[in-house]
């Protein structure tokens, strides 16, 4: 039995909603062990609210009308239930969108979380500069950065007011396989694995949010938050940022053809 937990955040919608953002409670760090973004360089980062499931996820604008996110954020819901806010810094001045359709990758497996990617087509195109996808080879022990609007713990039921960032490091495949045997290796398979940064992690509400590296003078997309996994029999019960928890991210470079097919945009345009 896999011990994995998704990073969707269940929120209290009577306190916080897409239409009522002014009542967010004071937030500290959301991503675990990170902090507010220091620079406004991630304008492509989306907060995705589901008004029926009362959950939030994060996402990335990759073309004027397409936001990619985790498939598990789009599973069992429909486009009309979603509100999308895009901002690289504060949720207060985010640009709001509605969704016209959603597409989940046809090989998404809810049990293993393989191919955890889906696309939201926005009702109106955005003028915000989309993220570029990095084609750099991903290796072990690489410095990466995760971004998200998520929570710091299960008890904080509101999204972050300021976009959160945390510095992470990709972990060797043999370590990642101990908690998730399907992992094939960084830069090799369909996922990226991070770990060995105790206290630093993505958490609830960060699902679908960008994992980026500094490449060619800008922050480019390499992955998106999928789930955390921890050792069998471990006392840890999947608490974000625990020493023995590894983070798994969908490796976006592998899905350019999928995104291209759904958006009708040539693959080259994403790099």
Ligand X SMILES: *[C@@H]1O[C@H](CO)[C@@H](O)[C@H](O)[C@H]1NC(C)=O
Segment lying near ligand X (by CB under 6 A), choices 26-34, 85-93, 166-174, 201-209: 85-93
Nearest distance from C-beta of residue 80 to ligand X, angstroms: 16
- Spatial neighbors of 34 by CB under 8 A, at least 6 apart, are 146, 164, 165, 166, 167, 200
91 is a contact residue toward ligand X (CB under 6 A) = no
90 is a contact residue toward ligand X (CB under 6 A) = yes
Of the pair 127, 233, the CB lying nearest ligand X is at 127
Nearest distance from C-beta of residue 268 to ligand X, angstroms: 17
127 is a contact residue toward ligand X (CB under 6 A) = no
> Which of 38, 93, 127, 266 is close enough to bind ligand X by CB under 6 A?
93
Give the tokens for residue 21: 């953002």
| Long-range CB contacts (within 8 A, 24+) of 78-82 | 78/102, 79/120, 79/121, 81/50, 81/51, 81/52, 81/53, 82/48, 82/49, 82/50, 82/51, 82/120
Contacts of ligand X in 30-69 (CB under 6 A)? 40
- SS percent in the chain: helix, strand, coil, step 5: 10, 35, 50
Element (H, E) at 186: none
Give the tokens for residue 91: 């949720």
89 is a contact residue toward ligand X (CB under 6 A) = yes
Of the pair 179, 259, the CB lying nearest ligand X is at 259
* Distance from C-alpha of 159 to C-alpha of 203, rounded to nearest angstrom: 11
155 is a contact residue toward ligand X (CB under 6 A) = no
Q: How many residues bind ligand X (CB under 6 A)?
A: 9
Site string for ligand X, 171-210 (x = CB under 6 A): ----------------------------------------
> Which of 6, 151, 194, 263 is close enough to bind ligand X by CB under 6 A?
263
121 is a contact residue toward ligand X (CB under 6 A) = yes
* Distance from C-alpha of 248 to C-alpha of 223, rounded to nearest angstrom: 9
> Which of 76, 143, 153, 236 is close enough to bind ligand X by CB under 6 A?
76
**Which candidate, 257, 265, 167, places its Cα nearest to that of 219?**
167
Nearest distance from C-beta of residue 198 to ligand X, angstroms: 31
22 is a contact residue toward ligand X (CB under 6 A) = no
Of the pair 100, 154, the CB lying nearest ligand X is at 100
- Spatial neighbors of 40 by CB under 8 A, at least 6 apart, are 88, 89
Q: Are 227 and 116 contacting, i.e. CB atoms less than 8 angstroms apart? A: yes
Interface residues toward ligand X, by CB under 6 A: 40, 75-76, 89-90, 93, 121, 263-264
């Amino acid at each position: 039995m896999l011990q994995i937990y998704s990073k969707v955040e269940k929120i209290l919608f009577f306190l916080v909603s897409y239409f009522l953002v002014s009542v967010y409670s004071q937030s500290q760090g959301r991503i675990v062990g990170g902090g507010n973004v220091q620079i406004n360089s991630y304008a492509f980062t989306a907060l995705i609210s589901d008004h029926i499931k009362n959950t939030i996820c994060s996402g990335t604008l990759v073309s004027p009308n397409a936001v990619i996110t985790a498939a598990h954020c789009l599973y069992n819901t429909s486009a009309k239930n979603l509100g999308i806010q895009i901002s690289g810094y504060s949720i207060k001045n985010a640009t709001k969108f509605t969704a016209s359709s959603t597409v989940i990758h046809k090989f998404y497996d809810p049990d293993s979380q393989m191919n955890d990617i889906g696309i939201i087509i926005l009702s109106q195109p955005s003028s915000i500069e989309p993220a570029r996808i990095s084609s750099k080879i991903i290796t072990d022990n690489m410095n990466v950065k995760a971004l998200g609007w998520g929570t710091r713990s299960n008890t904080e039921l509101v999204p972050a007011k300021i976009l959160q960032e945390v510095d992470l490091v990709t972990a060797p495949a043999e370590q990642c396989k101990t908690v998730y045997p399907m992992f094939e290796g960084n830069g090799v398979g369909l996922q990226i694995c991070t770990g060995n940064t105790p206290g630093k992690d993505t958490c609830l509400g960060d699902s679908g949010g960008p994992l980026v590296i500094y490449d060619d003078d800008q922050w480019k997309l390499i992955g998106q938050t999928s789930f955390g996994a921890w050792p069998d029999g471990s006392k840890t019960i999947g608490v974000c940022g625990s020493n023995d928890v590894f983070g798994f991210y969908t490796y976006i470079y592998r899905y350019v053809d999928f995104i291209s097919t759904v958006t009708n945009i040539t693959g080259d345009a994403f790099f």
